[in-house]
């Protein structure tokens, strides 16, 4: 026992004072062709069925990392392997010294190394104050109307009345701890229906996701989707099925948490998960050298952002909190919510007004952010003591929306993840005039269902504009069956700068008189609508 304790102390000291973190990218994988030809070797049947149903190809990214390479990395001097990613064919390592990591390039199976300290990759970072969860809480004498507000606000109560409560939809929750989910009354319905599918702790590398790890954030987040207390509390998808994955290390902020997240997303994909809810965001770390800059929230830079986009490509609908930086110097949406493939969720209060803490969009981001909003100010949640309390943060607007989407997807089982996201956006309160505060606004999931039943993917994706960014001449293509089509261009503050009725399937617009900047372009026709983010150079 003393030896184990001593080893634990030494390991703690090693980790605490380890000088460098890095992603090590590998050259190849083994048995790729055989694995793709016989995917049951690498994926569950549920995952194979989901991909086949949605026409998602099984490719080399689904093949696991070569375990022999990982074994060799573990044997290298001064190296600890913390996480791995099959999508990136990469391993996250900690090196006692920079040279320990640099020396890995001598291994013939190492393709490249990306240090978390970007100064070692000829880039610089700045550090800002970080408050990821930004939760305010107070015990309340719960009134069912308070839960009803966050459900009614997005119209999911109408789906529930039609018996669309998430049944058959599988959700993975990537978060911090989930203490007492296996015991408290709020999740009894979930357990009785065998909808609690288990999970994994990627931080501690075990299956004890229900133990208290210093944080119960995951329990509260889960309650807004899966919680049920008769006559007191109903989550937005009480009959969906859930995997719980701990990816957040509450003891500090390290970029390895991005790798834990990606690893969990890969596990979710292999299990056939439909939706990921992630009430997490990454901007700055305990080591200032590893921190991101606001300009890095561009949808392409952060490791976790790139992983979230791959999850989207794999057919998973990724729902992520926008962040709680609206009142800080940072202000903008963080990673992975900045990813173009992620449905990022901002926060409003009970009256539908912008919550000042909710992170905002930015012209630097490739798509409209946030996408939509839900209640996040004083939202009702259940804590690990089975108490109904009030919490504030986009951490809770995200699961409220994710659960609503699970109920919607049950009603539209043939839809793809991209179609579901578009139906949600199209149903939102300011779809034609989005901004950086509320995005497309507050969705009405009853309307989203109607839209989904009346539109097909072919109908709403055939509106095209190019080039984008545009200098002077913009090419516009519309479905020939949708004459006439009303085109409007707005500034990001909602000012209408151009309106035109288009009757030809292909047209060229002269935008030379428009000032440089970011605009929103909306199409409305007799078969549907679509909105584009337009950049005028």
Q: Give one DSSP letter per residue of 355-399, joined into a string.
A: PTTS-B--TTSSS-SS-EEEE-SSEEEE-TTS-EEEE-SHHHHHH
Q: How many Cα atoms are found within 13 Å in the side-chain-facing hemisphere of 491? A: 8
Instruction: Report the phi/psi class of residue 95: left, alpha or beta, with left for phi > 0 and alpha for psi in -120 to 50.
Output: beta
Calculate the dihedral angle through the C-alpha atoms of 337, 338, 342, 344, rounding to the nearest 10 degrees.
Answer: 50
CA pair distance 61, 38, nearest whole angstrom: 14
In Å, what is the CA distance from 386 to each residue of 199, 379, 389? 21, 16, 9
Q: Which of 62, 175, 213, 269 is catalytic?
A: 175
Q: Which of 21, 85, 195, 217 is catalytic?
A: 217
CA pair distance 224, 399, nearest whole angstrom: 6
Sign of CA dihedral 279, 284, 285, 289: positive
CA pair distance 44, 229, nearest whole angstrom: 33
* Cβ count within 10 A of residue 333: 35
H/E element, 23 = strand 20-26
Task: Please say if 158 is a catalytic residue.
Answer: no
What SS3 state is found at 180? coil
* Cβ count within 10 A of residue 253: 19
Task: Please say if 175 is a catalytic residue.
Answer: yes
Count H helices, E strands: the chain?
Answer: 15, 23
Q: Are 153 and 57 in contact (CB under 8 A)?
A: no
Q: Which of 395, 398, 407, 522 is catalytic?
A: 395
* Cβ count within 10 A of residue 452: 23
Question: How many Å from the N-terminal Cα to the C-terminal Cα in the chain?
Answer: 66
CA pair distance 439, 367, nearest whole angstrom: 10
Name 209's Cβ contacts closer than 8 Å, sequence gap at least 6. Answer: 177, 178, 181, 198, 199, 200, 201, 218, 244, 245, 246
Sign of CA dihedral 430, 436, 439, 442: negative
Q: Are 391 and 220 in contact (CB under 8 A)?
A: yes
CA pair distance 282, 373, nearest whole angstrom: 20
Task: Please say if 274 is a catalytic residue.
Answer: no
Give the residue from 283, 384, 292 showing the smallest Cα distance to 337.
283
CA pair distance 504, 109, nearest whole angstrom: 55
Pairing of strands 379-382, 388-391: antiparallel
Q: Which residues are catalytic?
A: 175, 217, 395
């Amino acid at each position: 026992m003393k030896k184990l304790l001593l080893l634990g102390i030494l390991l703690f000291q090693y980790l605490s004072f380890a000088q460098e973190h890095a992603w090590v990218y590998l050259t190849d994988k083994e048995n790729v062709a055989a694995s793709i030809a016989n995917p049951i070797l690498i994926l569950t049947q549920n995952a194979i069925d989901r991909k086949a149903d949605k026409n998602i190809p099984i490719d080399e990214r689904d093949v696991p990392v070569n375990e022999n390479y990982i074994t060799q990395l573990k044997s290298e001097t001064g190296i600890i392997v913390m996480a791995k990613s099959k999508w990136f064919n990469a391993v996250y390592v900690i090196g006692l010294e920079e040279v320990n990591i640099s020396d890995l390039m001598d291994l013939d199976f190492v393709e490249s190394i990306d240090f978390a300290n970007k100064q070692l990759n000829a880039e610089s970072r700045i550090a800002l104050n970080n408050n990821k969860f930004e939760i305010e809480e107070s015990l309340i004498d719960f009134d069912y109307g308070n839960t009803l507000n966050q459900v009614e606000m997005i119209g999911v109560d109408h789906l529930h009345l039609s018996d669309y409560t998430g049944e058959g939809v599988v959700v993975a929750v990537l978060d911090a701890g989930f203490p007492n989910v296996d015991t408290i009354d709020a999740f009894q319905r979930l357990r009785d229906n065998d909808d609690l599918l288990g999970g994994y702790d990627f931080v501690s590398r075990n299956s004890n996701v229900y133990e208290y790890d210093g944080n119960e954030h995951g329990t509260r987040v889960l309650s807004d989707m899966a919680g049920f207390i008769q006559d007191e509390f109903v989550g937005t998808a009480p009959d969906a099925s859930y995997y719980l994955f701990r990816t957040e290390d509450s003891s500090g902020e390290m970029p390895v948490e991005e790798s834990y997240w990606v690893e969990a997303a890969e596990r979710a994909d292999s299990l056939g998960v439909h939706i990921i809810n992630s009430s997490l965001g990454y901007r700055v770390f305990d080591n200032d050298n590893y921190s991101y800059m606001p300009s890095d929230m561009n949808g392409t830079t952060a490791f976790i952002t790139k992983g979230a986009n791959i999850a989207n490509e794999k057919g998973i609908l990724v729902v992520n909190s926008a962040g709680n930086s609206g009142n800080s110097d940072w202000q903008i949406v963080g990673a992975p919510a900045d990813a173009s493939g992620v449905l990022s969720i901002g926060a409003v209060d009970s009256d539908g007004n912008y919550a000042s803490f909710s992170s905002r969009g930015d012209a630097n981001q490739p798509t409209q952010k946030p996408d939509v909003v839900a209640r996040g100010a004083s939202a009702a949640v259940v804590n690990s003591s089975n108490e109904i309390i009030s919490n504030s943060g986009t951490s809770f607007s995200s699961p409220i929306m994710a659960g609503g989407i699970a109920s919607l997807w049950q009603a539209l089982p043939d839809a793809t993840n991209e179609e579901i996201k578009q139906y949600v956006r199209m149903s939102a309160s300011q779809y034609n005039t989005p901004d950086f505060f509320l995005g497309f606004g507050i969705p009405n999931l009853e309307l989203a269902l109607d839209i989904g039943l009346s539109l097909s993917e072919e109908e709403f994706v055939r509106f095209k504009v190019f080039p984008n960014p545009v200098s002077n001449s913009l090419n516009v293509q519309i479905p020939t069956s949708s004459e006439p089509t009303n085109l409007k261009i707005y500034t990001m503050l909602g000012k209408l700068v151009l309106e035109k009725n288009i009757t030809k399937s292909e047209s060229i617009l002269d935008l030379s008189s428009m000032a440089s900047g970011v605009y929103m372009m909306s199409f409305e026709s007799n078969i549907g609508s679509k909105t584009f983010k337009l950049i005028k150079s």
